[in-house]
Structure 1
Amino acid sequence: MHLSKDDLLRYNRQIIIPEFGQSGQEKLLESSVLVIGAGGLGAPILQYLTAAGVGKIGIIDFDEVSLSNLQRQVLFNTQELGKSKAETAEKKLSQLNPTVQFKVYKESVNSLNAKEILKDYDLVVDGSDNLPTRYLVNDACYLLGKPLIYGAIFRFEGQVSVFNALKADGSRGPNYRDLFPTPPPPEMVPSCSEGGVLGVLPGIIGSMMANEAIKVLCHMGTSLSGKLFVFDALDFSTHQLNVQANSENPLSGENPGITDLIDYEAFCMGEVKEQSIREITVQELKERMENGPVELIDVREDYEYQIANLGGKLIPLNKVLNQMDEIPRDREVVVMCKMGGRSTKAIELLQQEGFDQLINLKGGINAWQKEIDPQMTAY
């Protein structure tokens, strides 16, 4: 590919690097990358890959910009609240570098569409924040033979790795299932919206992920394939853990049991679904509330309750067992949180104490805001 005069000017500062040169820039311009998520991690990933000159970038995100995003998702601003993240990202990134071709997917990636979407890209960068998507994207990349840049953030800690990288002998490096063969219980892996994250951390980790993507695309340097890089922003410590191929990996091991994409929600929520926890949808709860009083327990934190609530009794998850005498045992009680994870954990704990009439609010206050009361403050 011949670099134009504008290319030589725009990318001059990286072209003059001896290890990169014009050949590196040409590789980037000819490459295509799919970025999963345009949020905390996705924003810096998209910005740096766009600025670097990746030829084609796919942006997949079904969500809209909300006020609580702006603390860390610096691609967006207050005037864009309520707008599509994917479309807003494309508009801004096109202004940053109009030579890049963008393709927007205003949808969530799932078992039905993943392979069809991923097949058109050379590399996938996963900026998602939930386990089902991570396992889904990992499996799809392995089945399609695509390298995957992995990143995760939580509070002060971030992780980066390169999975399924193509080796010189034609084989592939370790994948996500070599590191995490099976998912931990959902309550052990809260999302940023439930566990929190330092605002600058996604910028740090996202930049590292973009760096790994450029190295893989340009066949430059040594990638994090076979290693898990861990960064702690609180004490500025770093660690690198070796990741080796696992012969019992259900996807890429000696006797693989996974040969196509599966139901990843069920896979990651398996331990919860094995228990007899009743659920109620927000529509069903609304109907009950219209027909009479409903006993409602909210296990979020006080500051969350102040942002938005349904009037239930506030008993934070870490106080549930200490305050269980305040929860009725002789009638049905709906337990809720932000998204349904903490309320599920609360019910599990209370069931062990003999409670048998607890019902989990599916989707929590988030689902109520989206499906019942869009005027309610989202966070």
Structure 2
Amino acid sequence: MSSRSGGVSPHAVHGLVDADREVALLLDIIAATSSGPEVEPMAAAVARMITAATASDVCFVHVLDDTDQSLTLAGATPPFDEQVGRIRMPLGSGVSGWVASHREPVVIVSDKEADPRYVPIAALRGKDFASMASVPMETEPGGLVGVLNVHTIERRDFTPRDIELLLVIGRLIAGALHQARLHRQLSARERAHENFAEQVIAAQESERRRLAGDIHDGISQRLVGLTYRLDAAARAVDDLDQPAAAEQLEKARDLVDLTLAEARSAIGGLRPPVLDDLGLLGGLASLATSIPEVDLDLHLADERLPEHIEVALYRIAQECFQNVVKHSRALVATVTFTVRDGVARLEVVDNGVGFETGPLSSSGGYGMLSMAERAELVGGTLTVRSRPGAGTTVTVSIPVEG
């Protein structure tokens, strides 16, 4: 038996059940659609509601998955709720797949195995139930959302009123389920973006560690060895009393010292060990000591954050401190780091010359664009407030999980 599902109005609920059951049913529908933005809790509430409203023994709510190519069991009455998320069927397969493909209800009163559309699923124990009714859940503009199945242990002749009631409930619930699907897809995209950002930053920092190791194990070690040889050569020249040669050797040693200092600075810039050992608090404090030109007033919370966020904030602070030294001509700056209400916030305020703010890409030497990109990569935002003669305030805010 099949019948068309079009032309059903939510008002058709009235008259299908008595007044008391109508009120209870509407309250159940409201509760189901208010159970939260997740698909599974809503589908579970729908299954319980339909079982009670139709006096059936079990209800299965199959929801179209995010590929729109198959149905997933999203809600079921006990004990089949244990199978939620485990049962999947392609469109066109089984009774539910047929209903989804044809957008028409199906009623099987008895002998399900004889129906060519029926495909037994062992986990759902189809043989335990004599009769079933299956209807599509549709909404506009979402189209097909899923399929509702009800089963009874005893033989039951589902009437047109029964099917109409199922269709009405399905249409009333479909909109909320469609919104839940959209919420799930959006959450999945956000998680994918966060994972991608973490992977990008992890790859960058891995490469920085490799370069730092190469500099330390190669260039630095060779320069240290060269320093020892120059020292020995200088002592030998001193013994031979050759002032000119000694002077050249001393200059060469000065050059080696300078190169070694630059190599060590490069290592620290690539991956400061203090960030690994002490976290962002120690990293920012250490970074501040490398800027003697400006009196930095530090207010830093002792909070550990996910590594990719600590790295992003450290790099932003590093760029910001360099801007203070190179461009602001500030004498004093205040650095504040806090974590409150799920948001990590870093603020650097200087009393320098300031500048006319505009698009970050036009801020040239201040490197604001690179800092903004780092903040956005981890889901944060960077704001800049400044005007000529009034100093500059750079604030970065990044949401963090509890």
TM-score of the alignment, normalized to the shorter chain, above 0.5: no
Normalized per residue, the structure richer in helix is: 2
- Scaled to the shorter chain, the TM-score interval is under 0.3
Q: Which has the higher relative contact order, 1 or 2, with Cα contacts under 8 A spaced 6 or more apart?
A: 1
Q: TM-score, normalised by structure 1?
A: 0.23
Higher Cα Rg, which structure? 2
